[in-house]
Copies of this chain bind each other. A is one copy, B any other.
Amino acid sequence: MGEYSISKLNKVIRGSKRATYDVTSIHKILDDAFLCNIGYVYDDKAIVIPTAYGRIDDKIYIHGSLKNRMMLSLLKAGEASVSVTHLDGLVLARSAFHHSANYRSVNIFGKVNRVDDPDTKMDALKCILNHMVPGHWDNVRYPNDKEFNATLILEISIETASAKVRAEGVVDEQKDLELPIWAGIVPLKMVAEPAISDPALDKGIKIPDAVLNYVKENTY
């Protein structure tokens, strides 16, 4: 699928040997998360808000209320920057200076458009929910007209993107290797615990396979 073009906006300067612009790698990092951080400018300040998202091809979808300040600011700006980070471990070096983390991180820059076409809008909602728990859309009550009309969907078309990935052990100065100081990594991962059914639920209603599978794939 090639690479995203490199501009001064997305070019990774610091730690550039850990950078990638590969489309497939970037899509994978995006698909492994469902929470992103959106940056928007308000009152000349950059504000960061976490929000759920979904991806279809080279488009990211986010949703919110019609009055959401972030959503309206993004729409007004016509562009958005999106950041997704997986924290994979602590890198504990011999020296304070070489402490680091293992991570997979993506930054996206794209054009923002409001989604008004009802089919595209419903597809986006489905995509966002399935991005959280694959296949769960088929189990739920779909949005009614009131809910559907109260939801603002923005489509962020990826124009440029970059990823940084650190996935290795400790890197210390050669002369520090002789020091009587411990060094190593501590892997970190996000895990799911078993689903807890709503107490108001009728006892006969079983946990759907999509949820069971999600827990199974994310269990410790």
Q: List residues of chain B with CB within 8 A of the CB of A205.
A: 180-182
A199 and B133 CA atoms in complex are apart in Å by 38
Prevailing SS type, chain A contact patch: mixed
**Contact in complex: B176, A141 (CB < 8 Å):** yes
A50 contact from B105, B125, B137, B199, Cβ within 8 A: B105
Q: List residues of chain B with CB within 8 A of the CB of A147.
A: 95-97
A46 contact from B81, B90, B215, Cβ within 8 A: B81
Given the interface contacts A93-B140, A96-B141, does A201 sit within 8 Å of B184 by beta carbon?
yes
A interface with B by C-beta (< 8 Å): 8-9, 13-14, 35, 37-50, 52, 64-65, 67-69, 79, 81-83, 85, 87, 90, 92-97, 99, 101, 103, 105, 107, 109, 125, 129, 132-133, 136-137, 139-144, 147, 151, 169-170, 172, 176-177, 179-202, 205-208, 211, 214-215, 218, 220
